[in-house]
Amino acid sequence: MPKPKLSPPVVRQLIILSICRLAEPVSMTSVSPYLYFMVKSFDVPHKDIPFYVGIIFACFSFAQFFTGLFWGRASDKFGRKPTMLLGLSGTLISILIFGFSTSLPMAIFARCFSGLVNGNVGILRTMVAEMVPEKELQPRAFSIMPLIWTIGSIIGPAIGGSLADPVTNHPNWFKGEPPALLKKFPFCLPNLLNSALFVCGLLTGTLFLKETLETRKNEPDRGRQIGKKIIKFFSRKSQHHKDVTDETTSLLASSSSSRMDEEVNLPTKVVKDTGPPPLMEAFTFQSTVNIIVYCSLCLHTITYDQLLPVLMSYPRDDTPRQGLKFAGGFGMPSSTIGYFFSIYGVVGMLVQFFVFPTVVNFFGPLRTLKFFSLTFPILYFITPFSLLLPHACQDSALFLFLFMKSVSAIFSFPCSTILLTNSSPSLRLLGTLNGIAVALAALSKALGPAFGGLAFTLGQKTGYGILPWFLLSGITTLGTLPMILLVEGDGFSHKPIQEVENDEADPLTK
């Protein structure tokens, strides 16, 4: 029996969705290599820099906590596409404000604004689920957005590490006096480049992305109408350059153009818009447990992603070790940190594309999630001890840690997403459920870096640099316990929307 495959129209829409998504991970990860130095440029006391780095990381997620559910409900009512494009537009504005920040409050405001206007993580996840409801195709489909995040995590640190503060880091780029703009706003260059990616994503989404919400997908879309005209214009121009006058060829071209227009459209079905179901229907036992597991993953992974660049940036401390009392960091420049994280992204991309679908199809998302979740506490526990290794071995240890983190996260997050999607009681509630997950995960992402930065600062002041890592390892261990209650859902592939909405199941498995 041949294996099921994604159809060409769906593949095309997933590619368009990926282009829309790419700018966000690039802008998010480009901040890591230079954020320590950006906060330092605001004349923050040296010992307090890790705390404020954590605050800047946290305020994006904390703001997103207040609006995540709103954007999820909005996408269930007004459509996925307009809600997503609005989020991209708001993020575009926020990164420009962030890049031109001249004070700590301005940078914090920019990050808060970005979190308030963007709930795209849940919306994109919902769109993928609506495009690919078949359970057997989900490992491949749900690995695409994490793959885009991984690609972004390659490009982002490279951009941030190489373009941040070019006047200081790359004086040889300039002949004579550097531009006044770069001297006044040393961190604007990576954000200007990121903004160009957002413009590209906005244009692609507006012109070519298909609405996936069942009750809105048949409504006229002015953006896609313009996109079709653009495609037809360039198709005709290409034919003209070939000087094709044969009538048969003309008919074939016309037929091909028609097929192309049909393929961008997903299967349509007229469904009466009765509005999204009540909010509380989203909270079944399984969906609640899945949200808890997803929030736990977000809490500890984002905290590690915030702490590790700070540890790499923090100056070395040559004070003799006394048992577990040792502090300091690796004292690396932003360009080296960007290099490390780019390699981390490349490894993640290869694993995501070539290994993940096969492993998950064989073992299933639940068993895969449980196995790889156990590696996180071990990784977090051993990370600070890399400072005690000989200098020649420290880079290798960091690469090993980043590899472990990359592989574990690449397997854990898509599996958690699949389980959460299949726990939804209805496709009409999927946007709401993902909105709830994004909002609560945002709170986790806010609390993790904030307390992580505070613990890092306290550890450095007291000489116990292991403090944040031991706390993180313990919290992560507790976060694995709810996985015992998880059950794999059946998904929506064989059920129309009306049937799914009317299903009644046992409350412990629903």
pLDDT tier at 357, thresholds 50, 70, 90: confident
Give the whole-angstrom CA distance, residue 11 versus residue 141.
9
Asked if 190 and 34 count as a contact pair (C-beta separation under 8 A), the reply is: yes
pLDDT at 240: 56
Give the whole-angstrom CA distance, residue 248 versus residue 414.
48
Give the whole-angstrom CA distance, residue 398 versus residue 383.
8
What tokens were used for 85? 């494009």
**Is 40's pLDDT higher than 60?**
yes
Burial of 148 per CB tally in 10 Å (0-12, 13-18, 19+): buried
pLDDT at 246: 46
Mention every residue, 6+ apart, whose C-beta is less than 8 A from residue 2. none
- pTM of the complete model: 0.71
Portion of the chain with pLDDT greater than 70, in percent: 87
**Is 266's pLDDT higher than 80?**
no
**Is 508's pLDDT higher than 60?**
no
**Is 160's pLDDT higher than 60?**
yes
pLDDT at 300: 92
Residue with tokens 């079944």: 284
**Is 269's pLDDT higher than 70?**
no
- Comparing C-alpha atoms, which of 126, 35, 145 is closest to residue 426? 126
Q: How many CB atoms lie within 10 A of CB 274?
A: 9
Distance from the first to the final alpha carbon of the chain? 31
- Average pLDDT in the chain: 82
Give the whole-angstrom CA distance, residue 207 versus residue 222.
8
Asked if 330 and 36 count as a contact pair (C-beta separation under 8 A), the reply is: no
| Better-scored residue on pLDDT, 468 or 174 | 468
Burial of 495 per CB tally in 10 Å (0-12, 13-18, 19+): middle
Grouping H, G, I as helix, E, B as strand and the rest as coil, residue 129 is helix
Asked if 424 and 287 count as a contact pair (C-beta separation under 8 A), the reply is: yes
The 8-class DSSP code of residue 283 comes to -
| Better-scored residue on pLDDT, 128 or 279 | 128
pLDDT in tens, 1-39: 566 677 888 889 999 999 999 999 899 889 988 888 899
Give the whole-angstrom CA distance, residue 105 versus residue 121.
26
pLDDT in tens, 82-92: 999 999 999 99
Domains of the chain: 1-228 (1.20.1250.20), 279-493 (1.20.1250.20)
Phi, psi of 18 (to 5 degrees): -65, -40
467-479 and 375-382 are packed helices; what angle lies between their axes, rounded to 10 degrees? 170
Q: For residue 165, is it left (φ>0), alpha (ψ between -120 and 50) or beta?
A: left
The contacts found for 139-144 with CB under 8 angstroms, 24 or more apart, are 139/356, 139/357, 139/360, 139/361, 139/365, 139/414, 139/418, 140/6, 140/357, 141/6, 141/14, 142/414, 142/417, 142/418, 142/421, 143/352, 143/353, 143/356, 143/357, 143/360, 143/414, 144/14, 144/18
Average of per-residue pLDDT across 107-120: 90
**Is 126's pLDDT higher than 80?**
yes
pLDDT in tens, 201-228: 999 999 999 998 888 888 888 999 999 9
Q: How many CB atoms lie within 10 A of CB 416?
A: 27
- Comparing C-alpha atoms, which of 486, 146, 499, 185 is closest to residue 348? 146
Buried b (16+ CB within 10 A) or exposed e, 306-335: bbbbbbbbbeeeeeeeeeeebbbbbebbbb
Residue with tokens 């818009």: 273
Q: How many helices (H) and strands (E) does the chain have?
A: 22, 0
